[in-house]
Chain A
Amino acid sequence: MHTTLHLLAEAPPQMLPARSLMAFTLASHIILVPMGVALPLITLIMHGYGLRRGDATALLLARRWSAVMAVQFAIGVVTGTVLSFEFGLLWPGLMGRWGDVFGIGFGVEAWAFFLEAVLIAIYLYGWRRLPARTHFLLGLPLPVTALLGAFGILAANSWMNTPQGFSLDSEGNPVDVDVRKAIFTPMFGPQYWHFVVAMLVTAGFVVAGVYATGWLRGRRDRYHRLGFTVPFTVAAVFTPVQFMLGDAIARAVFQKQPVKFAAMEIVWNTDTHVPEYLFGRLHPDGTVTGGIKIPQLDSILAGFSPDTEVHGLATVPAENRPTVAQATLIHWTFDIMVGIGSVLLLLVVWYAFVWWRRRRLPASPWFYRSAACAGVASVIAVECGWITTEVGRQPWIVYENMRVAEAVTGARSSSLWTMFGLVVVVYVFIFGSFLAVLLKMRTRWRLDDERRAEAGTMATPETDTPYGPRSAVAAGDAPAPGNGDGTASTEDGRP
């Protein structure tokens, strides 16, 4: 505890607000990322299925998901732009010294994102006018651009974890930059694949969760069955993959960032036969209280043998490692992430077993209850994984090369606190509105489907196809010229 206070007293006053602001904006943005990276893929799978089978329900679902994508993408663009500003506003020291070493990943990200924005615009706005096949084909590169964008971001982040591709001159400035080495750092591969698959799994579970909820509320039509099955199957296919990748990245951290690994597993002294703690709390003297202790397991997990030596936190000076509070935090987030992943794997096994034996969806309401929670749980797992990566790197912003304190802005801490307050208010407003809009869209669609089912003119909403000529919506929706007496005010709504 003394060291914590000591370090806090030394830290510049800008640290806490700058960190809080960065953490808050990133934690918010990351909620949108699974939807940005993986929802296009899931939508396209549904879309392709609909086109191939001539299935109007699938097409309707794809079209509605693309409407969600539109709102989500728009919010993601602005929260992402804020992050680029924050690199300069909060961490000018990082960018000034290292921008040219690790910035190129962002260059790739920027143009991938550019392409994604173009393609998404064409996909979203092409439903009505473009020929069905052309429209679908133009959407196909979308998931690829999303993967490229993630490539850039993860290259930058993994470089901060295991920086390389430069040497230092006498003043400690980077020279002899080797861009290829700076992109393909030791942690890049593990982080990238772990991240991408996490996005696929999360998006799948989130979307499926929505329809699982509808299923539980008694809406058991083909629309809900399809809306559940496709995204859930995507998530189910990738969940075991993620389990393997998660194991691989933990071992990569063990090898490349032993201090971070020690903090994740709250290991104090370097030793063999190290036990694994599930939760528990680390104290400054190296003891652990609470939690469940499993003898030998940590060594076995790290190196497949109880004789594996695991580095302890005590091997590095206190100022070069996470504090005990930080270690305890990331130990918890790590355990929560792994715990959620394991439970999700069980859910997937259940699904796969029923499918294998009976060729149908599980009937138990408990399955759907769990599936409805799986979306939220996987978002929590994503947040936890991110906290583990970022807090585990402390006190370094560039691992073993630059401390967070050296990178922070010189702006007054009061300005930073003010901006933090402002951003919180703005984000609460935005995310609240985002959620409200999504719920509103859902309600509107449901009422529409119900009304149509009752009307009987079209037995189910599925018979309607999203392609083909429409009644003139754009013109018909336009408010009339002149005083705008509101004869055609469908677009503007009513109070």
Chain B
Amino acid sequence: MTAAGVVAAVLLLAVAAYTCAGGTDYGAGFWDLTAGGAERGKRPRWLIDHAMAPVWEVNNVWLIFVLVIMWTGFPVFFQTVFSAMWLPLALAAIGIVLRGAGFALRKPTRRIAGRRVYGAVFAVSSLLTPFFLGAAAGGIASGRVGPGTEPTAHAWFNPTSVFFGLLAVVGTALLGAVFLAADAVRYEAPDLHAYFRRRALVALAVFAVLGAVTLIVAHGDAPHLWHGLSHGAGLVLVVLAVVATLVTAWLLLRTSGAWSRPAAVVLMASAVLAWGVAQRPYLIPGRLTVAEAAGAPSTLHWLLIVTVVAAVLVFPAVAFLYRLDTRGELEPLTDADLRRGGPEPES
């Protein structure tokens, strides 16, 4: 495999990692949005706040990694995507700010009205951002843009894009529910475990149906993608995704719900990898190959060195963080810590 091919594989893996890690966060936002009024949604929201807090910045950094690999490894690809898909990406960027700020500011805010505003901002942008990112991915997958394409709605508002966008939203909801169900066990809240397990099952069913419909849509709308998904490695990954769907469903139906998280991650990752592998040897089907888009050879080599260093340094650190987090070693430094005892000073 050429250096460009390896970098493309790294890019795809980073996209898959962001889908799984960031997706879980977006999913938590989805369930925050649907949790109901302040009273009814209090407990789910409490869990969302506590479960997400320690890891969500790390999850977000995957996206920066994706962007950096894109513009360093494949500058023309980066230029093409950001020129042609201007609007969805601009909206996604604004969504990311609103979402991050909404979540970060909700924690230290104590008045219910303020929490509502931040919460709503956080939740709505959790819905819109994955949709637009998914739509942009759909535009790429269906080969609608190429070098020199002007910003156009056609690039991201088409059957494949819309279904990719919906798939992204439902996929994040699925991941969010699965992870929150497991977190509920950790936080010893059996009622929330049941609550999120039900939602995970519903999301899984919708995801499976939507995935099947997307495949049918791709058959007519994105022929190269369809070909890749129905042959060779792409097909293997599609089959893996289907198996992972069944396994996740089975695990969720058992009351303990153990191992449902890895199964859901395998499901999402194999779906993303299937998309990427199906596009080979193109970054944008029919328009731009990996080789054409590749940056300078020496840069690609250095990018690989940087990636290896990152793998050596970052992955143990990330693994350590996730381990500490799942073992409950990380607890939010709440205001209560700093302000123990006594009645509420204001109000």
B57 and A120 contact, CB distance less than 8 A:
yes
- Check B340 against A471 for contact (C-beta < 8 Å): yes
Q: CA A101 – CA B297 in complex, angstroms? A: 10
Given contacts A81-B63, A88-B71, A437-B105, contact A475 B100 (CB under 8 A): no
Let me know if B81 is at the binding interface, CB within 8 A.
Answer: yes
In the complex, which residues 75-119 of chain A have their Cβ closer than 8 Å to any Cβ of chain B?
A: 75, 77-82, 84-89, 92-93, 95-101, 103-104, 106-111, 113-115, 117-119
Q: In the complex, what distance in Å separates the CA atom of A61 from the CA atom of B118?
A: 28
Please, which residues of chain B bring their CB within 8 A of the CB of A166?
296
A494 with B314: CB separation less than 8 A: no
Question: A478 to chain B: closest CB distance in Å?
Answer: 6
| Docked pose: A479 CA to B187 CA in angstroms | 12
> Is the CB–CB distance between B65 and A411 below 8 Å?
no
Q: How many residues of A contact B (CB 8 A)?
A: 104
What residues of A have a CB within 8 angstroms of the CB of B97 in the complex? 78-79, 81-82, 426-427, 430
User: Quick check: is B78 within 8 A (CB to CB) of the other chain?
Assistant: yes
Chain A, Cβ-Cβ closest to B47: A478
In the assembled complex, which residues on chain A have CB atoms less than 8 Å from the CB atom of B337?
Answer: 63, 127-128, 466, 470, 473
A412 within 8 A of B: yes
Q: How far is the CA of A25 from the CA of B341 in the complex (A)?
A: 41
Select A115's contact among B55, B93, B317, B331, beta carbons within 8 Å: B317
Q: Which listed residue, B69, B303, B309, B345, touches A448 by the CB 8 Å rule?
A: B345
Question: Which A residues, 453 to 495, have Cβ-Cβ distances below 8 Å to chain B?
Answer: 455, 466, 470-471, 473-475, 477-479, 481, 483-484, 490-495
Interface bits B300-317 vs A (CB < 8 Å: 1, else 0): 101100110110011001
Instruction: Please state if B189 and A174 are interface contacts (CB–CB under 8 Å).
Output: no
A427 to B100, CA, bound (A): 12
Q: Are A107 and B72 in contact (CB under 8 A)?
A: yes
A125 pairs with B40, CB closer than 8 A: no
Residue among B103, B150, B300, B335 having the largest count of chain A Cβ atoms under 10 Å: B335
**Bound Cα distance from A91 to B104, whole angstroms:** 29
Known: A426-B94, A477-B334. A118 touches B104 (CB 8 A): no
Q: Does A124 contact B (CB under 8 A)?
A: yes
B231 to chain A, nearest CB (A): 32
B345/A444 in contact, CB under 8 A: yes
B46-67 contacts to A, CB under 8 A, are 46, 50, 53-55, 57-58, 60-61, 63-65, 67
Q: A115 to B61: give the CA distance in the assembly, Å.
A: 10
Measured CB to CB, the closest approach of chain B to A304, in angstroms, equals: 39
**Residue of A74, A429, A474 touching B103 (CB-CB under 8 A):** A74
CA distance A71 to B76 in the complex (A): 36
Query: For residue B97, which residue of chain A has the nearest CB?
Result: A78
Least CB separation from B40: chain A residue = A484
0 or 1 for each of B75-96: is its CB under 8 Å from A? (1 = yes): 1101111110011011011101
Report whether B39 and A125 are in contact in the complex, using a CB–CB cutoff of 8 Å: no
B108 touches A441 (CB 8 A): yes
B300 CB, nearest partner CB in chain A, Å: 8
Contact with B94, one of A107, A422, A474 (Cβ below 8 angstroms): A422
CB–CB A115/B79 < 8 A:
no
Contact A419 B90, beta carbon cutoff 8 Å: yes
In the complex, which residues of chain A have a beta carbon less than 8 angstroms from the beta carbon of B73? 100, 103
Stretch of A175-183, A225-233, A322-330, A344-352 that contacts chain B: A175-183
Bin the interface of chain B by size. Answer: 35 or more
Partner of B104, one of A74, A455, A494: A74
Complex interface: chain B residues within 8 A of A30 (CB) = none
Do A491 and B310 form a contact, CB below 8 Å, given A423-B94, A448-B338, A451-B342? Answer: no
CB pair A74–B57 under 8 Å, yes or no, is yes
Roughly how many angstroms separate A470 CA and B338 CA in the complex, as a whole number?
Answer: 11
A493 contacts which of B53, B81, B115, B310 (Cβ < 8 Å)? Answer: B115
Which residues of chain B (23-59) have a CB below 8 Å from chain A?
39-40, 42-43, 46, 50, 53-55, 57-58
Q: Are B299 and A426 in contact (CB under 8 A)?
A: no
A137 interface residue per 8 A CB criterion: no
The residues of B that contact A113 with a CB separation of less than 8 Å are 61, 64
Select B109's contact among A93, A121, A437, beta carbons within 8 Å.
A437
Write the nearest CB–CB distance from A436 to chain B, whole angstroms.
8
- Specify which chain B residues have a CB less than 8 angstroms from the CB of A73 in the assembled complex: 57
Name the A residues within 8 Å of B240 (CB-CB): none
**A448-B339, A478-B187 in contact; A85/B93 too (CB < 8 A)?**
yes
Q: Are A89 and B298 in contact (CB under 8 A)?
A: no
Minimum CB–CB distance for A460 against chain B, Å: 15
Q: Given the known A-B contacts A96-B79, A104-B72, A470-B337, are A177 and B328 also in contact in the complex, defined by CB atoms under 8 Å? A: no
**Structural contact, A107 and B68, CB atoms closer than 8 A:** yes
Q: How many pairs of residues, A versus B, come closer than 8 Å at their CB atoms?
A: 331
Contacts of A95 in B (CB 8 A): 71, 75, 78-79, 82
Contact of B100 among A74, A122, A473, A481 (CB under 8 A): A74
Report how far A168 CA is from B347 CA in the complex, Å.
Answer: 67
Q: Which residues of B contact A175 (CB under 8 A)?
A: 296
Give the CA-CA distance A78 to B25 in the complex, in Å. 14
Q: A77 contacts which chain B residues (CB < 8 A)?
A: 57, 60-61, 100
Say whether A493 contacts B344, CB under 8 Å. yes
Task: Judge whether B71 and A118 touch: CB under 8 Å.
Answer: no
Give every chain B residue within 8 A of A118 (Cβ-Cβ): 58, 314, 317-318, 320-321
Given contacts A84-B64, A426-B98, contact A67 B42 (CB under 8 A): no
Q: Which residue of A lies closest to B41 (CB)?
A: A484
Known: A474-B50, A478-B187. Contact between A75 and B109, CB under 8 A?
no
Which of B76, B307, B336 is in CB contact (< 8 Å) with A473? B336
For residue B9, CB closer than 8 A to chain A, the reply is: no
Whole-angstrom distance between the Cβ of A358 and the nearest chain B Cβ: 34
A67-B338 in contact (CB<8A): yes
Contact A78 B96 (CB under 8 A): yes
Query: Does A66 belong to the interface (CB within 8 Å)?
Result: yes
Contact partner of A111 among B76, B109, B306, CB < 8 A? B306
* Residue contacts A-B, CB under 8 angstroms, 15 given: A63-B333, A87-B67, A88-B79, A89-B90, A95-B79, A96-B76, A101-B296, A107-B303, A110-B68, A114-B61, A117-B57, A121-B321, A126-B330, A127-B333, A478-B187
The 10 closest A-B pairs by CB, nearest first: A100-B295, A88-B82, A96-B79, A103-B72, A493-B110, A99-B75, A74-B104, A78-B100, A177-B296, A125-B330
Task: List residues of chain A with CB under 8 Å of any chain B CB.
Answer: 63-64, 66-67, 70-71, 73-75, 77-82, 84-89, 92-93, 95-101, 103-104, 106-111, 113-115, 117-122, 124-130, 166, 174-179, 409-412, 415, 419, 422-423, 426-427, 429-430, 433-434, 437, 440-441, 443-445, 447-448, 451-452, 455, 466, 470-471, 473-475, 477-479, 481, 483-484, 490-495
4 further A-B contacts with Cβ under 8 Å, apart from A118-B321, A493-B110, are: A101-B299, A121-B57, A121-B330, A441-B108
Residues of chain B touching chain A, judged by Cβ–Cβ distance below 8 Å, are 39-40, 42-43, 46, 50, 53-55, 57-58, 60-61, 63-65, 67-69, 71-73, 75-76, 78-83, 86-87, 89-90, 92-94, 96-101, 103-105, 108-113, 115, 118, 150-151, 187-189, 191, 295-300, 302-303, 306-307, 309-310, 313-314, 317-318, 320-321, 324-325, 328-342, 344-347
